[in-house]
Amino acid sequence: MNTPMVQTINLTKKYGQTTALSNLNLRIDEGDCYGFIGPNGAGKTTTIKILATLLRPTWGEARVCGLSVGPVNARQVRAMIGYVPDYFGSYEDLVVREYLEFFASAYQIHGRRRKGVVEDVLSLTDLGGKADAPVNGLSRGMKQRLSLARVLLHDPKVLLLDEPASGLDPRARIEIRELLKELRRMGKTILISSHILVELADLCNKVGIIEQGELKFSGTVAEILERAKVGSILQVRIAGGREGEAAAVLEKLPGVAGVTPAPGSGSDGELRLSIQPGEIDAAEVAKQLVLRGFGVSRLTEEQVNLETAFMRLTKGLVQ
């Protein structure tokens, strides 16, 4: 079996009597884009900071590219990672190109090579037109792209991204997502924490759910959706304003756990049915309604997405 790019073994972090991480066991393989999701205070940032060599665990071990993360290997680990925190420091006196050249020199990239590397990351992150713009005058989205440009200077194997789309407008989020897809195509291994769950499903091939410092689930997006599919939800529109009568009938059908009016505007005449797993299906619901003289103008099954899976598999608990 190949050595994982990121691995934690019983990783635990305590702050006095508060446990931020509890025996976290995580594995991310080469080329994975791993979505790390959980409520605020669940332990996501703590995990990322330990992997970035910025925090020491209370006990347990973290490894990056096979190297144990700690004081002895800190310099080697930092050469292999690119860490983007959920904030951007102020660099009022620098323009974008100077900012990147400063960090390139910190990575011991000098001379013609430094100039070429800076131009490459400006092009990759689509910041070429802002090369001479003051860093402090950039929009939030541009600053996030600049943060990614900065961590790409030394061509790291692993990217640790803490809420990279936080606070961005919809267009900026789309641009960051497309950039991350390109980085994955380039072979980067990515660990990304985010609250924008729908976008993670589109970006990531694996997901971990953390709550109260404990990893509740880790696996592919398909696996998490299947695990969260406890029964199904049907929405049915009843013709002729007879939804009250239909609800009384549906509540008596075997396998129907509950019937409520469908939420949201434009849903008049619609009912929402909670169906127990392995019981009645949509076709049978429609059949039973028609046999009893009800007109059905629409019947749909609500799909489980990453957001609904997250809500079903967690309790919203934090430390």
CA distance 194 to 150: 20
Phi, psi at residue 316, to the nearest 5°?
A: 75, 25
Rounded Cα distance, 217 and 43, in Å: 14
Domain boundaries, the chain: 6-226, 230-303
Angle (deg, nearest 10), helices 140-152 and 111-124: 140
Fold matches, 6-226 and 230-303 = no
Characterize 75-91 residue by residue with b for buried, 16 or more Cβ atoms within 10 angstroms of its Cβ, and e for exposed. eebbebbbbbbbebeeb
pTM: 0.79
Check residue 221 and give its pLDDT. 81
Tell me the pLDDT of the chain (319 aa) as tens digits. Answer: 678 999 999 999 999 999 999 999 999 999 999 999 888 888 999 999 999 999 999 999 999 999 999 999 999 999 999 999 988 877 778 999 999 999 999 999 999 999 999 999 999 999 999 999 999 999 999 999 999 999 999 999 999 999 988 888 888 888 888 999 999 999 999 999 987 677 787 889 999 999 899 999 899 888 877 776 656 788 899 988 899 999 999 999 998 888 998 876 455 678 988 888 777 888 999 999 999 999 999 898 876 667 777 777 776 444 4
Evaluate whether 299 touches 237 at the Cβ level (below 8 Å): yes
Q: What is the pLDDT of residue 318?
A: 40
Cα–Cα distance for residue pair 209/221, rounded to 1 Å = 11
Q: How far apart are CA 291 and CA 284, in angstroms?
A: 10
- H-helix segments, 73-155: 74-80, 96-106, 111-124, 140-152
Distances (CA, A) of 214 to 21, 162, 218, 230, 274: 6, 18, 11, 22, 30
CA-nearest of 233, 232, 257, 252 to 292 is: 252
**pLDDT, position 307:** 74
Place of tokens 């050469």: 79
pLDDT on residue 237? 92
Q: What is the pLDDT of residue 78?
A: 95
Residues β-bridged to residue 220: 206
Q: What's the token pair of residue 142?
A: 């541009």
CATH number of 6-226: 3.40.50.300
What pLDDT score does 8 carry? 97
Please name the residues in contact with 317: beta carbons below 8 A apart, sequence gap of 6 or more: 39, 211, 212
Q: What are phi and psi of 118, to 5 degrees?
A: -60, -45
CATH match of 230-303 with 3.20.20.480:
no
Q: What are phi and psi of 169, to 5 degrees?
A: -75, 165
Predicted local confidence at residue 81, as pLDDT: 97
- Where are the alpha helices (H) located in 15-80, listed in sequence order? 44-51, 74-80
**Contact predicate 200/305, CB 8 Å:** no
- CB count within 10 Å of CB 212 equals 19
44: how many CB neighbours lie within 10 A of its CB?
25
What pLDDT shows up at residue 5? 97
